[in-house]
Structure formats: C-alpha cells, structure tokens
Amino acid sequence: MRRRDLLKLGATVAALAATGVAAPEPSQDIALDFLPRGFTGLWPVAQAVLPKEIGAAGQKEALAAFVTWIHDHDAGRYLDPGYGHTRVAKSAAAPIERYRAQLQALGAAARRRHGKGFGALDLAARRALLVEALAALKIDGLGERPSGRHVASALMSHYFSSIEANDLCYEAEIGRDSCRSLAGSGERPEPLAKAPRP
C-alpha cells in the first residue's frame, strides 16, 4: 500500500462509518478495523476475488487501498476529455451507497440460498453468487479503472490495475507509471522479490 493511502485510512474510517447502517459480518480472523460499518461484508468479497497468492495481509492491503479509493472519489469533477475531443464529462456520483446496497444484497442472497451469511460461505459458493451478480449487470470486463457498477468488479479492477498486481503478474519490479531516473533505462526490470506471505 502506498504511504499516502495509509495516512488517509483514519479519515476514511471516520467518514464512511458515519454513513454505515448494516451489522458487521461475523467470523473474521484478521483485523479489519479500517472497514466502516456497512462495509465489513467487503472482506469476504475480497477473499473471493483477490489472489490467494498475495496472502491475507496482501488482500487486506488491497482492500484498504480500495476503501481509500472509494473515499477519495469526488463527484462532479471534470474528466480528462482525451486527445482532440470536444465534449467534456464529469465524474459520476460516488458509488458508496450502491456498493453498500450490493453488499447487503449479497448477504441476503446467501441467506436465501444457503441459510447463512455471505462471509460464512466457502469460496466456491461466494464466487457463484458473485458470478450471478455480475451477470445480472452484464459486466464482462474490468476496465482501466473501477466503475461504480458493482463492488466486486470494482475491487478487482482496482487491485488488478495496480502497480503491485502488475509487478506480481510479470514477477518483475516494473513499477508501472512510477517516476524514476533515466539511468538504467535500458535494463530489464529486476525479478520481483518473493516476500513471505502469512
């Protein structure tokens, strides 16, 4: 996680907690105190959609970064029009309420189908419910950046478009979009250091 994200977590929790209403999901074995009320259901989603290869700690970091991304979303900001385009668009309303409703819907579907909460299901059952939810919204791709359409695909998009995921994929220290010296431009990126995962 970037240092900037860590610094913002405190503010994130405070801001999101103020809007939360739903009860937290049970049976969590990792400290998730950064998740605001109404968003604790994100952890079982994160476990289902993020790679196990990054470990629980890595999943938690990815989730925290996503929560920060949600918090920092500003509605009504002008978007980059792109080269040569004459039309301008503004950013959409913050997806937070939609995401909260989607988490509640996942919980309700789990109880209806399996008689227990989403977080109490095994990964296969959770994923089956997520596949249905994504299909209902006709979500076929991840996009360059998270959209507000579904919280699960947005979390996946946020993580898999990250510098960390790109490095993990290539197993190399690419550091996409990072500013760095011109020295060493022509060198192949170093192999990714394998950190032990809890």
Would you mind telling me the total number of residues written for the chain in this entry?
A: 198
Taking only Cα atoms into account, the Rg of the chain, rounded to an integer number of angstroms, comes to: 18
Residue 86 is a binding residue for another protein (CB under 8 A): yes
Q: Which is nearer to another protein, 21 or 183 (CB)?
A: 183
Stretch that binds another protein, among 13-21, 33-41, 109-117, 135-143 (CB under 8 A): 135-143
In the complex, least distance from residue 21 CB atom to another protein, rounded to whole angstroms = 26
If we measure between CA atoms, which residue out of 124, 156, 129, 145 comes closest to residue 46?
156
Neighbours of 16 (CB within 10 A): 20
Look-up of token digits 């998009």: 157
- Residue placing its CB nearer to another protein in the complex, 1 or 22: 1
63 near 155, Cβ under 8 Å? yes
50 binds another protein (CB under 8 A): yes
Interaction of residue 6 with another protein, rule CB under 8 A:
no
Q: Which of 131, 136, 137, 197 binds another protein (CB under 8 A)?
A: 131
Task: Kindly state the tokens that stand for 142.
Answer: 């991840």
3-class DSSP state of 90: strand
29 near another protein, judged by CB under 8 A:
no
Does residue 98 belong to the site contacting another protein (CB under 8 A)? no
Distance in angstroms (rounded) separating the CA atoms of residues 132 and 110? 12
Query: Degrees (nearest 5) of the Cα angle 152, 101, 115?
Result: 85
The number of angstroms, rounded, from the C-alpha of 3 to the middle of its chain's C-alpha atoms is 17
**Binding of residue 49 to another protein (CB under 8 A):** yes
Nearer to another protein, 120 or 142 (CB): 142
Q: Work out how close the CB of 81 gets to another protein at its nearest, in angstroms, rounded to a whole number.
A: 5
| Site residues (vs another protein, CB under 8 A) | 48-53, 69, 72-74, 77-81, 84-88, 91, 127, 130-131, 134, 139-142, 144-145, 153, 156, 160-161, 163, 165-166, 168-172, 174-182, 185-189
